[in-house]
């Protein structure tokens, strides 16, 4: 199988598809090509998080270019200097190229985490909200019955599903924000919405759900952010005629 000429080709394709250069992100994201490896690209890998064990597994699987959601410089890590040194050494040893895409892979209307969560659940996206630096990163979908939603979520997230149900039994709207979803809570009322699917919340949000009359479904930060990296890897593989593989870590959080 003919390899891509360079990792830079793959990175440019990812940049264009995700609109990376026009999207502002958190300081630790550093979206884009974070490390250029020593090999031509025969195989693409996808993982949620950069890390020493993921890099080693990528090497074992013959992956040359790894796409992640949380990259080398994602914060907080402790001790930061030591962790970064370990990761850089592992990357160099593996010969991997590393590409990170955070908010561009949350907000994308086709290959973003939130759009793909909606698609998986059979929900129709009708609007976007929760702006970050002018970019709406969460979506609003047409409602379905709470019983149907619960059943579908348990099927998609059997290990990480949690349900906090104090909202309507037949929500008119359903919000989705993958990963850490607490930034959506302040916006639900303005959107006429009482139901949120997300990755993780804080302990105090149980009481708030009781008080505000919310349905909250925290289904795992990691689990809700596997979608985008898989979709981007699929697109890269199709564009360049190479194989791709997802590297699961079993992260239950």
pLDDT of 20 above 90: yes
DSSP annotation of 251 reads -
DSSP annotation of 69 reads E
Residue 27: pLDDT band by 50, 70, 90 thresholds?
confident
Q: Are 60 and 124 in contact (CB under 8 A)?
A: no
**Cis before 106 (ω within 30):** no
pLDDT of 242 above 70: yes
DSSP annotation of 182 reads G
State which H helix or E strand residue 152 sits in.
helix 146-156
Token pair listed for 110: 């086709």
Over the chain, what is the mean pLDDT? 95
The pTM is what?
Answer: 0.95
Q: Walk me through the domains of the chain, giving residue ranges and CATH numbers.
A: 7-102+226-246 (3.40.1390.30), 107-222 (3.40.1390.30)
Write out pLDDT tens, residues 174-205.
999 999 999 999 999 999 999 999 999 999 99
């Amino acid at each position: 199988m003919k390899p891509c000429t360079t990792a830079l080709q793959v990175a440019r394709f990812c940049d264009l598809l995700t609109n990376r250069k026009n999207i502002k992100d958190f300081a630790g994201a550093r979206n884009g090509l974070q490390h250029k490896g020593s090999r031509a690209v025969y195989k693409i890998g996808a993982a949620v998080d950069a890390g020493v064990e993921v890099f080693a597994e990528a090497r074992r699987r013959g992956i040359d270019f790894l796409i992640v959601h949380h990259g080398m410089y994602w914060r907080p890590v402790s001790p930061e200097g030591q962790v970064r040194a370990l990761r850089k050494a592992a990357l160099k040893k593996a010969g991997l190229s590393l590409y990170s895409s955070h908010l561009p892979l949350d907000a994308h209307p086709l290959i973003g985490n939130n759009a793909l969560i909606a698609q998986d659940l059979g929900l129709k996206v009708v609007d976007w909200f929760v702006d970050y630096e002018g970019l709406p990163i969460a979506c609003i979908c047409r409602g379905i019955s709470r019983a149907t939603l619960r059943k579908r979520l348990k099927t998609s997230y059997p290990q990480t599903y949690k349900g906090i149900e104090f909202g309507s039994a037949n929500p008119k709207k359903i919000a989705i924000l993958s990963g850490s979803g607490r930034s959506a809570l302040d916006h639900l009322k303005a959107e006429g919405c009482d139901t949120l699917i997300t990755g993780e919340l804080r302990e105090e949000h149980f009481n708030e759900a009781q008080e505000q009359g919310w349905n909250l479904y925290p289904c795992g930060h990691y689990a809700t952010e596997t979608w985008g990296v898989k979709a981007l890897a699929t697109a890269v593989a199709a564009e360049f005629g190479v194989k791709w593989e997802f590297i699961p870590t079993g992260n239950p959080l």
